[in-house]
Amino acid sequence: MPNEPTNHTNNSQTIVVDADTFDFTTLEQQNGNASVIRFRIENPDVRAGDVLLVLSGSDIYFHGMIGLIEDGWGVATDRRGSLLPATVQ
């Protein structure tokens, strides 16, 4: 019997956090807003390719894909519409 191809589905998830309690470091900024951020990953089910959504009430402050996870830290990018204030380190 020939091997049947295996279908794998990559399902991304959206990680929603509150802007008031979200801790991050700005890696890149545009016009005073964080466009690339580094943040602690608390949930082991979060994967690269998931979407990070940072909300302040019903306002979207950051909406970007998590492109890298390493040593418990994630990096996400929102170069189009971030309203998340850049942090000063």
C-alpha 24/C-alpha 76 separation (Å) is 10
What was the pLDDT predicted at 1? 43
Question: Is residue 4 situated within a structural domain?
Answer: no
For 24-89, give the DSSP string.
EEEEEEETTEEEEEEEE---TT--TT-EEEEEETTEEEEEEEEEEEETTEEEEE-TTT--SBPPP-
What was the pLDDT predicted at 10? 65
Range of the domain at 23: 14-77
C-alpha 38/C-alpha 77 separation (Å) is 9
Question: Is residue 83 situated within a structural domain?
Answer: no
pLDDT in tens, the chain (89 residues): 445 554 445 689 999 999 999 999 999 999 999 999 999 999 999 999 999 999 999 999 999 999 999 999 999 999 998 999 997 54
Question: Is residue 1 situated within a structural domain?
Answer: no
C-alpha 53/C-alpha 58 separation (Å) is 11
What was the pLDDT predicted at 55? 97
